């Protein structure tokens, strides 16, 4: 290459148009009407559609078509997964084709209720704390558990089960020989002292015992009365204990639920909340505070 541009055939050396371009041929005395060549008009219309000169730009149509294609692929993939699972006899309850076992139902009802308090505490703290790290933790907890609540309530709707259980909490954890409590629970499942419903069918009320780890009304009122670092520390203490209280329910669901989706969710809770427990212990130590005693 010489680095010089090729000359433009349409212009002379002085930059003016060539004689042919400057002196066009005179038009015919009787020009043909525009309709004399319909194929030319059709060609021009097609060119306008391709370039987007007339009507909506073609790129928007491409985007819409692509989005529809992706949506159809997702629907097809989801349907294929459900069909495959149903053929194997797995997760039919989660897909809404059959009822679920008592452990899956009870876990979804009680863990959703357990999560509601954590979400409420997290949302309240997030709008009032001045500590960026504590606010971020509260946001993570609230967002994650709100999504999990929606998932569990969706299953209950598919199974034709009520969102809120009747009777004492955690009765679904009995009957397997190992009880319903371990290192993290507050008393035995289904009993919780003399206040529990003996028949297991009475509707729950404000007087029913709390599930393990849940804060009392007095503790929630105290949290709402605090500010600054005192608020941050007390929130961490309550939430740490709250996480600990859900461990036994999640572990029991992993071991006894007959629905694979429930087992997977419960295991995810153990993994995520286990990491959050370690983080909250560290954050409390950094603020010269200790966790609350767990019964």
Q: What is the pLDDT of residue 91?
A: 53
Percent of the chain with pLDDT over 90: 52
Question: How far is it, in rounded angstroms, from Cα 174 to Cα 188?
Answer: 9
pLDDT average, residue stretch 154-177: 87
Residue 3 backbone zone (phi > 0: left; psi -120 to 50: alpha; other: beta): left
82-86, 108-112, 248-252, range with the lowest pLDDT? 82-86
pLDDT at 263: 98
Confidence label for 99 from pLDDT (cuts 50, 70 and 90): confident
Among 221, 209, 257, 256, CA closest to 113:
209
Nearest to 239 by CA among 268, 265, 277: 277
Average pLDDT, the chain: 72
Q: What is the DSSP letter of 28?
A: P
**What is the pTM assigned to this prediction?**
0.61
pLDDT at 88 over 50: no
In sequence order, what are the residues at sequence separation of 6 or more whose Cβ sits closer than 8 angstroms to the Cβ of residue 277? 240, 243, 244
Neighbours of 159 (CB within 10 A): 19
Which residues have a Cβ under 8 Å from the Cβ of 291 and sit 6 or more positions away?
Answer: 237, 240, 241, 280, 281, 284
Decide: 122 and 116 in contact? Cβ < 8 Å: no
Instruction: Provide φ and ψ at 11, rounded to 5°.
Output: -130, 150
Please tell me the predicted confidence (pLDDT) of residue 241: 98
pLDDT tops 50 at residue 50: no
Q: Treating both helix axes as pointing N-terminal to C-terminal, what angle do 38-51 and 58-87 enclose, rounded to 10 degrees?
A: 70
Q: What average pLDDT score do residues 36-50 get?
A: 45
Rounded distance between C-alpha atoms, residue 22 and residue 17, angstroms: 6
How many Å apart are CA 144 and CA 146, to the nearest integer? 6
Q: What is the pLDDT of residue 22?
A: 44
- How distant, in Å, are the alpha carbons of 11, 46, 288 from that of 239? 80, 65, 17
Range of weakest confidence among 58-67, 154-163, 189-198: 189-198
Low-confidence winner among 61-70, 91-100, 142-151, 176-185 (lowest mean pLDDT): 176-185
Higher pLDDT: 240 or 66? It is: 240
- State residue 260's pLDDT score: 97
């Amino acid at each position: 290459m010489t680095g010089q541009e090729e000359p433009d055939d349409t212009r002379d050396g002085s930059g003016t148009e060539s004689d042919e371009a400057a002196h066009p041929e005179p038009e015919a005395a009787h020009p043909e009407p525009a309709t004399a060549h319909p194929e030319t008009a059709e060609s021009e219309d097609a060119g306008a559609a391709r370039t987007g000169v007339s009507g909506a730009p073609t790129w928007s149509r491409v985007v819409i078509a692509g989005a529809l294609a992706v949506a159809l692929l997702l629907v097809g993939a989801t349907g294929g997964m459900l069909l495959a699972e149903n053929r194997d006899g797995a997760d039919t309850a989660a897909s809404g084709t059959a009822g679920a076992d008592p452990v899956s139902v009870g876990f979804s009802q009680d863990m959703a209720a357990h999560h509601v308090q954590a979400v409420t505490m997290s949302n309240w703290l997030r709008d009032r704390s001045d500590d960026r790290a504590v606010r971020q933790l509260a946001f993570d907890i609230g967002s994650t558990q709100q999504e999990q609540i929606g998932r569990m309530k969706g299953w209950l709707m598919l199974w034709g089960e009520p969102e809120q259980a009747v009777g004492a909490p955690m009765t679904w954890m009995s009957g397997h020989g190992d009880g319903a409590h371990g290192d993290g629970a507050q008393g035995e499942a289904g009993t919780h002292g003399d206040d529990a419903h003996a028949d297991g069918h009475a509707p729950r009320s404000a007087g029913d015992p709390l599930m393990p780890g849940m804060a009392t009304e007095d503790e929630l009122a105290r949290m709402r009365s605090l500010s600054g670092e005192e608020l941050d520390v007390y929130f961490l203490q309550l939430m740490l204990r709250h996480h600990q209280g859900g461990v036994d329910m999640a572990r029991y669901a992993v071991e006894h639920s007959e629905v694979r989706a429930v087992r997977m969710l419960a295991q995810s809770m153990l993994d995520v909340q286990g990491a959050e427990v370690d983080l909250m212990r560290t954050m409390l130590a950094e603020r010269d505070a200790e966790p609350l005693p767990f019964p």
